[in-house]
Amino acid sequence: MLRAGTLTSRTLTEAVLDRVAARNPRLHVFTHIAADALAQADRADAQLASGNAGPLCGLPIAVKDLIDVAGQPATSGSRVLSGRIAETDAPAIACLRDQGAVLIGKVATYEFAMVGPDLSLPNPPARNPWNLANITGGSSSGSAAAVAGGLVRLAIGTDTGGSIRSPSAYCGCVGLKPTYDRVSRAGAFPLSPSLDHTGPLAATVEEAALALDAMTAGDWRPASARIGQPVSGLKIAYARDWFADDPQASPALIKAMDAAASTLSLLGAQITLVTLPDYAPYEASASVILHAQALEEHRTLIRDHANDYGRPTLQCLAFGAAIDAKDVARARQAQTRLTADMLAAMDGYDLILTATTLTPALPFSAFDGENAVWTPMRTIAFNLTGQPALSLPAGFENGLPLGLQLVARHGDEDVLCAAGHAFERATDHSVQRPPR
C-alpha cells in the first residue's frame, strides 16, 4: 500500500502511535517514543514518492533499549545508564534508517540483557499480550511484546543465549537469530561478544527475512531469496530427544512439535529422527564464556555504580568472579569441538527441527522471590556454534503460545526462512492474535 501510494507513512505512523498510546499502559512495552517519528515518516513518504524505496520504507520499527538509535535514550534498561542518549545509530540501525524505516521508539529489555523480570527497575517489565499475568521471556522482552501486541510488525532485538527466540516463542511471534557476525554487533551494549547476535522479531517469517536483509553487512545470500519456494526435498533432522526426554517439557509442547514435523513432511520435506550431541555441554560451555565476558564488560560500571544495579543482575555478574582464565580457555576449546560435533550431526541434512522453549511463558508470580528462576530452553547451543536459528509459532497451551525452532548451517538463512515461511503458510498459528 505504501509503494502503491494508497497509504502514507505518516498516516500509518499516526495509527501506530495511537495504538501505542492505547495499549502501552497495559503492556509496558515502549520506554520511549521518538519525538521525530512523524518527521521520519514524512521523509519516508518523500522517498516513496521518488520511486526509489526499499521494502521497509515507511514502516514503523521498534528497537530494543540495548541498541543505539541516534537522539534516543540508550539505557539498557538500567539505572546505571539513566539519562544516556545515543549520539549515533548502531550500524544495523543505520542500515534500517537508510532504507527509510521509521524508528518509532525504544522498547523494554531485561537489565543489560541479563536476567529478569526485575520489578525494582525504573521501567516495569513488559507483559505478555496473551496473558498480562505472564512474562514475555528475555531479554528482548519489549520487542516480542510489541509485535505480539499488535503495536508494530517489526522490532529489533539481541540474542546471546536465546533472547530473540525465547520471547518470540512465549509471545507467539517470529524471531530470527542470524549467523554470528552477519549483522554488526557494534552500537549494542555487549553482554558476551563471543555469543551476541542482533536480529529481527516480526509478525511473519517474510518480514523477519526482509529486515535481516536490510541489516546485513557484507556478501551474504539474502534471507528472503527463497521465500515462497517449495520445500519438497529438504532434509530435516528432527531432534525430538532434545526436548521430549526432558521431564520439564510440557505434553502440549511435545504434541505441537510432532504435529509440526508432520506438517513439514506433508509439505514434501524429508523428516528423519536424529540424536544430536547432548545439550548440556553446550549450555555449560556457553555459560562460562557468557559470565566471564559479562563481568569484564561491567567491571568499571560496577566499581562506580554498584548500588544502581538491580539485585538479579549483580547476582548474575557475580558468577563471572568464580571463573578464571583456565575455565574460559577450556570453554573455548569445547566451543570448537562442540561446533564441529553439531555440524557433523547435520551432515546430510539441510535443517534441524527442535523446540525453542520447553514450556509456555511462566507467570510473574514465579519470580516473586530474590533468586533467579530458570526457564528451560534449547537455544544457547546455537549461540555457541554461531548457526542461524528461527523460532516461530507452533501451537498453544492454555491460551499461551508455543514455539518451534529451525536451525541451519552458517549462512543458510535463505533455506531457514523458506522452510519457516512454508510451515507458517500451512498452519494458522501465526495468524492467531491475543485477546484485546
Enzyme catalytic residues? 64, 139, 163
CA distances from 288 to 137, 295, 322, 328, 410 (A): 22, 11, 10, 6, 23
Backbone angles phi, psi at 109, to 5 degrees: -140, 155
Nearest-angstrom CA–CA distance, 68 and 72: 8
Q: At what angle do helices 91-98 and 205-215 cross, to 10 degrees?
A: 110
Virtual torsion, Cα 412, 414, 420, 425, nearest 10 deg: -160
Q: What are the CA-CA distances from residue 188 to residues 105, 193, 384, 408 (Å)?
A: 15, 10, 19, 25
Q: Report the amino acid identity of residue 324.
A: D
Strands 154-159, 351-355: pairing kind: unpaired
Task: Round the CA-based radius of gyration of the chain to a whole number and report it.
Answer: 20
